[in-house]
């Protein structure tokens, strides 16, 4: 569907959760983590389609800020400990390696100095501002679940921003 895309924290975290739960033939119980996923990803069909969609993107980009947010999401939404937490991170690193995800450092001071994007910082923060700048620089789509703040700001500067729930076929 897309040759190159920037992936926001929510969709990336969802992909890591699904990758972890589908490991070992789903033995880890995907239903246990359904609440950690967006509403568009509550059915098995949509989960499989979503992983296929992200997997089909040739060049996957994200920022170091997004990678940094993943640990907090795992701790707050999955509440994994011990071997389960270790298993989640090992599975996540395996997937990110398989995808050859390009993690780019977007420096706060560089964002602040950028006339086009610096004014977004106080309102949406460095993570979202960096994602918009990265998608703009690469001239590619930005995939997010954030319809309220990130998507409108990205679209305002001409970034093609796609919401996960609109990338998946409608529920039947």
Query: For domain 4-167, which architecture applies?
Result: 3-Layer(aba) Sandwich (3.40)
Boundaries of every domain in the chain: 4-167
pLDDT at 39: 81
pLDDT tens digit string along 99-133? 999 999 999 999 999 999 999 999 999 999 999 99
R_g of the chain computed on alpha carbons:
16
| Residue matched to tokens 């119980």 | 29
What 3-state class would DSSP assign to 34? helix
The pTM of the full predicted model, rounded to 2 decimals, is 0.93
Q: Say yes or no to pLDDT of 28 above 60.
A: no
Q: Say yes or no to pLDDT of 56 above 90.
A: yes
- 169 — pLDDT class (breaks 50, 70, 90): confident
What 3-state class would DSSP assign to 66? helix
pLDDT at 35: 79
Tokens of 104: 């780019």
The mean per-residue pLDDT over the stretch 76-91 comes to: 92
Name beta bridge partners: 120: none
The mean per-residue pLDDT over the stretch 27-37 comes to: 69
- 164 — pLDDT class (breaks 50, 70, 90): very high
Phi-psi region of 79 (alpha: psi -120 to 50; beta: other; left: phi over 0): left
Nearest-angstrom CA–CA distance, 118 and 97: 31
């Amino acid at each position: 569907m897309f040759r190159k895309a920037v992936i926001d924290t929510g969709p990336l975290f969802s992909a890591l959760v699904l990758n972890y739960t589908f490991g070992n033939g789903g033995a880890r119980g995907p239903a246990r983590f359904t609440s950690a996923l967006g509403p568009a990803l509550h059915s098995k069909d949509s989960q499989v389609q979503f992983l296929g969609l992200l997997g089909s993107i040739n060049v996957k980009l994200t920022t170091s800020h997004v990678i940094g947010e993943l640990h907090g999401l795992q701790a707050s939404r999955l509440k994994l400990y011990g071997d389960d937490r270790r298993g989640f991170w090992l599975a996540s690193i395996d997937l990110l390696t398989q995808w050859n995800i390009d993690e780019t450092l977007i420096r706060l001071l560089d964002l602040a100095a950028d006339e086009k994007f610096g004014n977004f910082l106080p309102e949406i923060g460095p993570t979202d501002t960096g994602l918009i700048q990265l998608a703009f620089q690469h001239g590619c789509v930005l995939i997010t679940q954030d319809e309220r703040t990130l998507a409108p700001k990205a679209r305002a500067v001409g970034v093609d921003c796609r919401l996960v729930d609109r990338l998946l076929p409608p529920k039947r």
